[in-house]
Structure 1
Amino acid sequence: MKSISTSQRQNIISLASLGLSTRKIASQTGLGKSTVSQVLQEIQPERPRLHGGCPSKLSSINKRAIVQQILTGKVKSAVQATHFINFIVDSPVSSQTVRNTLKEASLKAVKKRLAFALKYQHWTVEDWKRVIWSDETKINRIGSDGQEYVWKKKGEWLISREVKGTVKFGEVEMDFMMMMRK
């Protein structure tokens, strides 16, 4: 936070006591929103921080009902919880809204993680060393898979040093299909 004068700090406090938002205080004082926010947080640590975005379609009661349905096992998935809550509320919500509600309640979908952990729980360090974690990254072990060009005169054949081997089914093969440039 940049250093501000005592009069600026008092101005922020008085504007906040009038009920002005952080954004309005910042525009009136010429200070940044983060500076105003930090001053207000120092003097009122219990002051709730407002988050942007649309208001939630679900009330706190509806959110608790969703969490309760999951925790008691009456519904097993976010999709089932969505069907449950859509019978109750006037405006239907998406299953992503229900997932967000469950995440707010610090719940996680762990079925796949648990299955993975149980399947590989007895693997040794040596077993894990043989795993390639690619994160969907393509790796070319032998050269590029892009086109490569060789300059030839019209009518000349390729010679063996200009042809690269390819790997097919674990064996190195030489592609000697001689191409003619016409």
Structure 2
Amino acid sequence: MYPNVELSTLSRYKRMFLGDSTSPKGGKQSKINTQTRNYIARNLRNGSLNGPKGVQSYLLTLGIEMSLRGIRHVLKSEGFEARRKVKTNFVNATNKRKRFAWVKKYQHYTVDDWRKWGFSDETRINMWGSDGKSYYWTDGATDLLTTASPD
């Protein structure tokens, strides 16, 4: 551009006349603005949007087409991460009372008494592959709470 002027001279003049101005950040501009990112983050935390698929359908209503890979990248840049849902047996208050009563009733059984019982193994077997793994997206500090009773 200026063959007779050194880069250091240009840098010195830039500092003198423009002060501490910063150059614009390079790279492609994001399809999702800050306000929409905040809305998506809030709705992921409270469970209104169900992961990247839910975010994708919301963005389509706004007229923004994005791939799931791109949405996952945006979520990770916002501090979210995918975690696997842990499967637990749900025991409500009534079921808990019945189980406790059963334990109290048979707590003094001996090994010989238990040998008279027959327990069926009710293991679920999938014929056509697994049911798959379930994931949820969280930003760590605000994990989704499970709906368990405080007992």
Task: Tell which has more relative contact order, 1 or 2 (C-alpha 8 A, sep 6+).
Answer: 2
Question: What's the TM-score once normalised by structure 2's chain length?
Answer: 0.42
Question: What's the TM-score once normalised by structure 1's chain length?
Answer: 0.36
